[in-house]
Structure 1
Amino acid sequence: MYQFLTLMCSFLTINFIMTNHPLAMGLNLLMMTIMISMLCSFMTYSYWFSYILFLIMMGGMLILFLYVTSLASNELFKFNWLYLIMMLMFLMILMSMVYYMDNFFWFISNIETMNLNFYTNLENENNLIKLYNNPTMNMTLLMINYLFLTLIIVVKLTNINHGPLRQYN
């Protein structure tokens, strides 16, 4: 599963470079965020870090979607079938290479990763405790206050009576 997710992340990275429509880029970034958060959840003992990463990226994606739809709402989305067929063929070739490769190549470090996962699992149990202890407690409180102050400023700057970001004719 780990190899499949890393392969899909690399495929989505190549696909992100090739797209030029903002909504297609946003969809690609959303799928990449899901894949990376799944990879992070497989690597760590706790799912909270990947869940927080996913929620933060989704919040940013919602803001980007708002900007894109309000500023470039009339841009047409052209679907290139040749590009889709080429990318699917490339993905199938890569997946068949992963499937038919020798097991020695993928699982040579299985014992080493099991030992590494054991040590990281012991360290990850204390990661959330370190976030709210004395050295980082001040930084966490500063970030909470900064985000709250930014929220209040943005709400006060936007006027509800003027409508959306873009002025209509």
Structure 2
Amino acid sequence: MGLASWTDPVIAKHLLRDEGEVIVDEVRHHWAAYTRPALEALLAIGLLVVTAVAPVDVAWIPFFLACAALLHAGWLTLREHRDRFVITNMRVFRVHGVISQSLATMPLSRILDITVRRPLHGRLLGFGHFVFESAAREQGIRDIRYVGRPYERDLAIQRVVQRAGLRGGHDRLRG
């Protein structure tokens, strides 16, 4: 097992290739999702500077805290990087997890509504959050956070749904 198997989830193994399923879009988190790990890494660097100037008998305390902060920042970074949202011609699914991996799937036919939420900082930085509504009460995919270019991706999902014939077309409304 190489480094890539730990840092990137294998999306292709979840596709129904023999049914003709193809990826329309693979969504990685927007860079803003990495803000917290970056701040924790900066904190760790600051603690290492403190370690260098601290008296020897207490220098282990900031050093230990720096190591813990670096490990936690690395974990958060890996967790965000391995979280993928995939749009295919048949369904949407999310793969996430570092040690154990979770897969949540929703067929396009079950998507009733997609809400795109763009908080102020999301509008400024170019990301949003998806909220999926389906006919099911408990659903594996509901909130997809830190989606870059959310309106473009929402339109991509709507196009796939329309092409699959799952919604009434414009011509059908004329009757």
TM-score strictly above 0.5: no
Name which structure has the greater RCO, CA cutoff 8 Å, separation 6+.
1
TM-score scaled by length of structure 1: 0.28
Structure having the larger proportion of residues in strand: 2
